Amino acid sequence: MFHRSVRLPPPGTESFFLWGPRQSGKTTLLRETYPGARWLDLLKSDELRRYLDRPELLREELRADPAPHVVIDEVQKVPALLDEVHWLIENTRTSFAMCGSSARKLKRGAANLLGGRALRYELFGMTAAELGTEFELDRVLNRGYLPRMYEAERAGRLLGSYVADYLREEIAAEGLVRNLPTFSRFLDAAALSDTDLVNFSNIARDCGVSSPTVRSYFEILVDTLLGRWLPAYTARPKRRVIGAPKFFFADIGVVNQLAKRGALARGGELYGKALENWVCHELSAAIAYRESSSELSYWRLASGIEVDFVIDRARIAIEVKASAKITSDHLKGLRAFAVDQPKVQRRLVVCLETRRRTTDDGIEILPIAAFVDELASGALFV
C-alpha cells in the first residue's frame, strides 16, 4: 500500500471536494483517512436512484441518525445533493468529504458548489515520492501513474479498458458530447499533441469537425481531469515569444495507449516526450500537495528555442532531456532564457546522467534521482 502525499483535513473538521482522474485512488484514500465516516456510494445503482429521485433524503437521514463526517463518492452524479450539503454545513455540525472525477456536470448545470464553504483538493496519479523504493522510471513511463496500471503485469490491456470506461461512463453517461465515435477519434489525435502546442485545425480536419468543437473537446479533457494546459511565460521578453499554451495529458500510460506507441525504450524521441510528461506530472503534483503558490509555465521563442518549464515568473527554468550525456547543444534553451530573463535564479536540466554536476555558466545537471530529491525537499517551490 502506497502512502499518498495529499494532506486532507482531520475527520470532522472541514468539508471539502477531492477531485482526481478515474482510478487515481480517491476512494481508497478516503476510506483509509476516514474509516468511521458515513458513506454514500453513488456508484451503486440503488443508492444513485434513491438520491436522484429524492436528494432531500440525505437531510432527513442525517436528522434521524446524525454523523459528524460523511463521504459522498462520485458526487457529480447527483448535483442536487449539493444543495442539501450546503444546508447541512450551515445548520449542523456535519462535515463532508466529496470526491469525483469531473466537476463539468456540476458547472454546466449551475450546481451549488458551496460558495467557498468547502475546500478543494486534487489527487494526481502516483508520484516518485509516493512510489518510494518501487519507483522505476522506465516502468512509470510505459505504464503511467495510476496505481492499478503501475502495479499490473499486463498494463496495456488495463489501459485499453480504462479508455473504454472513460468514454462510456465519463463521456457518454454524463452526456458530455453528442457524437461519441468522433470524440473517440479526437482522443487518438489529441494524444499525438501531448507535451506540444495544439494545432486545432489539423485535429479538426482529421476528426471531421470544426476547430471550435475540437477546442471544446480539449476543455472536456481538462474538466474530467484527463489533461491540463501549460501556459506560456511571456513577461518582459526581449525577443518575440510564443504565447499559446501547451497541452499535457494527466497520465502517460493513457497517452501511450491512445497513440499506440508500444514499449518505450531509452534513446527514442517518444521516450523523451514521455519523460517531459512525467516531469510536468511531478511538478504539478508537488505544487498542489504542498499547497504552494508557485506557478508553472513554459517559454519558447518564435525561432523555436524553448525551455520546457518555468517556475514562479522566471525564478527557476527547467529543461528535460532524455539523454545520458548532456552537451552544449542541449543547453541552448536555458542559455537563451538567461539572456531574455537575466534575473533567473536557477537553471536545471533533468536528464539521464548518473551524477549531479554544474556547468561553468551555472547550469545544474540533475539526474532523475536528484530531481526527485529536489521535489521532496521543496527547494523548487515557494
Asked whether 312 and 294 are in contact (CB, 8 A), the reply is yes
**Residues 250-271: what's their mean pLDDT?**
94
CB–CB of 245/312 below 8 Å?
A: no
pLDDT band at 109 (very low <50, low <70, confident <90, very high): very low
Annotate 108-153 with DSSP letters as a single string: HTT---GGGSSEEEE--S--HHHHGGG--HHHHHHH-S-HHHHH-S
Q: Which residues pair with 366 in a beta bridge?
A: 350
Give residue for cell 542541449: 330
Residue-wise pLDDT tens digits, 2-34: 899 999 999 889 999 999 999 999 999 999 999
Q: Which pLDDT score is estimated for 173?
A: 73
The domain limits of the chain are 16-122, 128-377
Give the predicted TM-score (pTM) of the model: 0.94
d(C-alpha 67, C-alpha 70), whole Å: 7
pLDDT, average across residues 74-98: 92
* Residue range 140-162, pLDDT digits in tens: 999 999 999 999 888 889 999 99
Give me the CATH topology for the region 16-122.
Rossmann fold (3.40.50)
Give alpha helix (H) positions in the chain. Answer: 26-33, 45-53, 57-64, 81-91, 104-108, 128-131, 137-143, 147-151, 155-165, 180-191, 200-207, 211-223, 252-258, 269-289, 332-340, 368-377
Q: Say if CB 142 and CB 155 are below 8 A apart.
A: yes
Note the pLDDT tens digit of each residue in 43-84: 999 999 999 999 999 999 999 999 999 999 999 889 899 999
CA angle at 249 for the pair 115 and 156, rounded to the nearest 5°: 125
Q: How far apart are CA 192 and CA 203, in angstroms?
A: 10
- Res 249: pLDDT: 97
Return d(Cα 220, Cα 226) in angstroms, integer. 8
Q: How far apart are CA 339 and CA 255, in angstroms?
A: 35
Alpha carbon distance 84, 100 (integer Å): 17
pLDDT in tens, 162-221: 999 898 888 887 777 888 999 999 999 999 999 999 999 999 999 999 999 999 999 999
Quote the CA–CA distance of 379 and 128 in Å, as a whole number: 16
pLDDT of residue 110: 42
Q: What is the mean pLDDT of the chain?
A: 92
